[in-house]
Amino acid sequence: MRAFAAACLAGLLLLPNGESSPAKAQSAADGDAQAAPAAPSKQTRPVVVASKPFGESYLLAEMFAQVLESRGIPVDRRPGLGATEVALAALRSGAIDVYPEYTGTGLLAVLHAAPMHDAAAVFDTVQRAFEQQWGIRWLPPLGFENTYAIAVRAGTAGRYGLRTLSDLARVAPKLHAGLTPDFIGRADGLPGLAHAYGLHFASVRPLNQALKYRALAAGKVDVVDGYSTDGSIARYGLVVLEDDRHFFPPYQAAALVGARLQRDDPAAVTALTELSGRLSAPVMRALNQRVEVGGESVSAVAASALASLDLTHKSAATAAPPGAARESFLAYLWQRRAVLWKDTLRHLLLVAVPLLAGIVAGVPLALWLERRRRAAEPVIRAVGVLQTIPSIALLAIMIPLLGVGVWPALVALWLYSLYPIVRGTFTAVRDADPSAVAAGRALGMTPAQVLRWVRTPLAAPGIMAGIRTAAVIDVGTATLAAFIGAGGLGDPIATGLALNDTRLILSGAIPAALLALLVDALLAGVEWFTTPEPLRAAARERLRDR
Amino acid sequence: MNGPAVRIERVSKSYGGVRALIDVSVEVPQGACVALVGESGSGKTTLLRCINRLVPFDAGCIAVFGTDVMRSEPVALRRAIGYVPQDGGLLPHWRVRRNVALVPWLDGAADATVRADRAMAAVGLEPAMAERWPHELSGGQQQRAAVARAVAGGQSLVLLDEPFGALDAIARSDLQAMLIALRQTTTLTLVLVTHDLHEAFRLATNVVVMRAGRVEQHAPPADIRRTPATPYVRALLARAGVEAA
């Protein structure tokens, strides 16, 4: 209690003016790190800072977090919420407090408004609409746009004198484009661009996100689409052509702040606003490059960026030197073992709890349906409809009800486990050895006794098949739970995808695959154990016949 | 109790528009073995299953040992009546002894296993078979176990639905001999569905010839051989190669 009071006092003394030395702030935070409330706010929980699942969003969120922390405001990081609909739903429900967003995305993907080409007008539109509809506030833009960018090699630009997209249109019939399939298809992508500039390439090849820059650098294609702050633009020394007819809508980056934070913690909002107008596109591109290409940690890059902007006084001493010698993959795993172990345990939780709940709910439901055949098909089909909801959508639906984190993931995974269990159990029980079932009935078993002593034991392999299917689905789908902040082995996968870090992806994907095999093998053992002995023998003989 | 074991009076049954049984009346005296014979679709199996209410009949009356079956609770009725299906219907996940002990076990009898062993001895199954799984038994042994299961609860009426139809000739003959021996040592009443006239004539005290849901003739085997009631019965006998006496 005394420590708490001391921390409060320290907070009162140190925080409002923001001029306290970092050493003092650090020691105050050390004294009672989590409990130190940022007076005079009515803060009752840390500020939940989130991001969407790509590198730049991670980096911006980390900068938000460090700015807040440097002012003694406790932060809870929830990076990698995927994607816009999940992050925005979480912000609207108050599960998170702030995340970086782009005005063009707000205009087109959220408000579904017509494209506009004036950056200030777009900002005003989204500002007003978000405020009115959800009380969500766009802080003044950070200072750069991350819009679609059409890039060429410096050599190409030099040879043809390319500076703008109008220049490109002139020579496009001599050039080969490699564009992401998404860009080729959408109206505000290639079709619209071709129309606006009269642009016609010699050929257009669909190339995936990860490959296109390498293909461009290697001369396999001459033009690619990208985002204006992609780190690869700096890495390969590419030239981004100016959108001189303002075809692409402006995508200004800004912090999106939820209603709760505005109400409860104005100091935090003020701190976040200090980033507004401080980040230019070249700066952001260089920072992205350090993370995505140089392999530096997000927190180190964020810290050094903030220090150079004089927004914090933290040194980047903890940062790994760029281009440090990379250890072997096994050494890398070993070094990450504590995190991996924690992720694996969380993943097991994400599989075991929904699966057990699925068995507890699904098997009795299926047995009950066996006795009420007429209700069976409609009920099972309704459960099946749940299965058809895309996982990300189902997870997004859960957010307004259950917030972000582990609970919505558990419920969503539980819903996914139901169908295979119910369908498998029902079918196996219904189709159990008809002659044994008929004999049981003819000799005077009650329907409940037939179910208990004949149908269910004979259906054991089929019931277990449904459970094993559900388990493997859960292991796989649980990796997506990272997108709603539930953790697990999806965490390194989502972060690795965002940061273009293959080793990080593998450090989650390989254990997840092993876990799926392990869980299935474990359940195969359970199946063997629950299958009546003579049926095991029959199964073995079937195996031998092959 | 001197009345018939089973009295079937004017029973009718339709499946949708198809009339499976039309005004059928049959009496099964206690201790008798009545064989229901006829071609597929003649209604013999439907009639058998009406007796223990596996098939609900539309009209008429069936009494078992003087009690209207419609006044009995179906589960209790079925436990009181033995039943042997064509394929034996042993529960594949239970050992033979547990299968045979089924009905006494369902009734909560403390000596269910003892009764099972006694029933197995009565049908000529070696004690060593008791611990086997059904699939480890020959077809003939499985049918013996099925008969044992049908009598282990002390049933005095047993319904047999083509019990030996799937067996080879030798096993079938052995099983028929077993059934004859069983009737000699007990007071069992049997109702037997078969399409095999030789079997009917060998086992039955009375034969009921059925055709298209009606009784064509109901008489002791010797009478049927001597005086077939209709041209159909005569033709049936001729086809089966049963010589008229």
Q: Is residue A18 part of a domain?
A: no
What would the DSSP string read from start to end of A102-136?
EHHHIIIIIS-PPP---HHHHHHHHHHHHHHHH--
Give pLDDT, residue A32: 39
Contacts of A442 in chain B (CB under 8 A): 52, 54, 78, 83, 85, 89
Residue-range definition of the domain harbouring residue B23: 6-240
Residue A19 is assigned to a structural domain of this protein: no
Answer yes or no: do A57 and A119 share one domain: yes
**Judgement on whether residues A84 and A167 belong to the same structural domain of the protein:** no
Asked if residue B114 is part of any domain, the answer here is: yes
| Total domains, chain A | 3
Q: Are residues A223 and A85 in the same domain?
A: no
Average pLDDT over residues B108-125: 93
A456: which residues sit within 8 A by CB, 6+ positions away?
A367, A429, A432, A463
- Does B85 sit within 8 Å of A442, measured CB to CB? yes
Residue A323 is predicted with a pLDDT of 44
Together in a domain, A46 and A98: yes
Return the pLDDT at A370.
87
Task: State residue A11's pLDDT score.
Answer: 34
**Residue A427 has what pLDDT?**
93
CATH of the domain at B160: 3.40.50.300
Chain B residues close to A534, C-beta within 8 Å: 92-93, 133-135
Q: Give chain B's domain count.
A: 1
Q: Can you state the percent helix, strand and coil of chain B, rounding each to 5?
A: 40, 25, 35
ipTM over 0.90: yes
B35: in domain: yes
Range of the domain at A517: 334-545
Q: Which of A302, A325, A348 is the endpoint of a domain?
A: A325
* 8 Å CB contact of B85 and A444: no
Grouping H, G, I as helix, E, B as strand and the rest as coil, residue A34 is coil
In a domain, A9, yes or no: no
Q: Could you write out the DSSP letters of every residue in A48-76? A: EEE--SSHHHHHHHHHHHHHHHHTT--EE
CATH number at residue A260: 3.40.190.10
Q: Say if A231 falls within a structural domain.
A: yes
User: Does A308 map to a domain?
Assistant: yes
Q: Do A442 and B149 touch (CB under 8 A)?
A: no
Answer whether residue A15 is part of any domain: no
A307 and A366: one domain? Answer: no
User: Which of B244, B228, B172, B245 lies closest to B37, judged by CA?
Assistant: B228
Judge if A215 and A197 occupy the same domain. Answer: yes
Token output for A521: 């093998």
Question: Are residue A390 and residue A467 in the same domain, yes or no?
Answer: yes
- Looking at residue A196, which CATH number applies to its domain? 3.40.190.120
Residues A260 and A114 reside in one and the same domain: yes
Is A444 at the interface with chain B, CB within 8 A?
yes
Angle between helices A406-430 and A391-402 (to 10 degrees): 120
Domain final position from A325, A347, A371: A325
Q: Is the peptide bond before A40 cis (omega within 30 degrees of 0)?
A: yes
Is residue A212 located within the same domain as residue A99? Answer: no
Is residue B178 within 8 Å of residue B144, measured between CB atoms?
yes
DSSP secondary structure letter of residue A242: B
In the stretch 9-38 of chain A, residues with CB closer than 8 A to chain B read none
Q: What angle do CA B171, B172, B178 make, to 5 degrees?
A: 90
Is any Cβ of chain B less than 8 angstroms from the Cβ of A535?
yes
Among the residue ranges A541-545, B66-70, B120-124, the one predicted with the least confidence is A541-545
pLDDT confidence band for B1 (50 / 70 / 90)? low
Q: Is B1 within the bounds of a domain?
A: no
- Rounded CA separation A169/A213 (Å): 21
Same domain, A138 and A153: no
- Ranges under pLDDT 50 in chain A: 1-41, 314-324
CB atoms B89 and A532 under 8 Å: no
Statement to judge: residues A528 and A472 lie in one domain = yes
Q: What is the rounded distance in angstroms from the CA atom of residue B11 to the CA atom of residue B160?
A: 20
> Would you say residue A27 lies in a domain?
no
In a domain, B245, yes or no: no
- CATH assignment of the domain containing A495: 1.10.3720.10
Nearest Cβ partner of A444 from B78, B87, B134? Answer: B78
pLDDT at A4: 38
Predicted local distance difference test score (pLDDT) of residue A372: 87
Do A381 and A495 fall within a single domain?
yes
What is the pTM assigned to this prediction?
0.71
- Asked if A316 reaches chain B (Cβ–Cβ under 8 Å), the answer is no
Size of interface A-B (CB pairs under 8 A): 69
CA distance B74 to chain A (A): 8
Instruction: Decide which of A281, A301, A325 is a domain's last residue.
Output: A325
Which DSSP helix (H) or strand (E) runs through B99? helix B96-100
